[in-house]
Amino acid sequence: MSEYSSFSARTLRDLVSGEAWAGLTHYPCWTYAPDRTLLRQGSTGTHVLALISGMVKVVRTDRDGRQRLLAFRGPGEILGEMALQHGGERLADVLTMSKCKASVVPAEDFRRFVEDHQLAYPLAVLASSRLREQTEVYDGAVHERLAMALLRLVDASGGVCSFSLTREELAQHVGVGRNSVTKALNRLGPGLVEAAKDRVHVTGPDELRKVLAGSLSA
């Protein structure tokens, strides 16, 4: 299994000055309830969202109707920028996992922001890191993959440990069946992770890191 790491620049906010981020979040700001679709797959990329607070999930529906939970994103992220580079079409849905607050930045303004702050290369590096995340989540035993996904979720949220997630969604994210996720949760145990019908609690993040570190060094 690949080595778990927290990337030094995980969000756009990590790449720019506080003044620059404040400029992005100065645009009209909206508050969104949980379970709302912020960006819809297949729609035109007319704007991006600067996520100020809350957590979202990125879900793609394949041609055969199968859904894949690709990623989780937290405060400091920019959402929807890929559509500005791929013919203007959204590649996935972005849905709220909790109450969220985000600024709506017109596409042309964001392009100008990237140019003014020379962010083309840093954004490419960030995109590469995200691709690495999506690749690593399919590597290793199921309980290891689940541990890595949950730790990255905690990191992205800024330390939140309770999330609106079902076992089916976790299964979509790590690329296995729901029963395999249940077995992995049982193996990790309630001292590390507890899963209710539609919510997951990371009860022991530090202990979960130690378990994962032990698996990687074995």
CA distance 72 to 94: 9
What is the per-residue pLDDT across 37-54, written as a single tens digit (0 to 9) for each?
999 999 999 999 999 999
For the chain, give the mean pLDDT: 90
- Residue that the structure tokens 């700001």 belong to: 29
| Count of helix runs (H) and strand runs (E) in the chain | 8, 11
Residue 163's pLDDT band (boundaries 50, 70, 90)? very high
- Of 183, 174, 46, the residue nearest 106 (C-alpha): 46
Can you give the pLDDT at residue 121?
A: 86
CA distance 30 to 189: 39
H or E stretch covering 29: strand 29-32
Cα distances from 134 to residues 25, 30, 128, in angstroms, run 28, 29, 10
What is the per-residue pLDDT across 111-161, written as a single tens digit (0 to 9) for each?
999 999 988 888 888 888 888 888 888 888 999 999 999 999 999 999 999
E strand residue ranges, 45-174: 47-53, 56-61, 67-73, 78-79, 93-96, 100-106, 162-163
CA distance 93 to 104: 16
**CATH classification (class only), 137-217:** mainly alpha
CA distance 66 to 175: 12
Cα distances from 88 to residues 68, 73, 107, in angstroms, run 21, 21, 10
CA distance 179 to 10: 31
In terms of CATH architecture, what is 12-117? Sandwich (2.60)
The structural domains of the chain, with segments of one domain joined by +, span: 12-117, 137-217
Can you give the pLDDT at residue 127?
A: 84
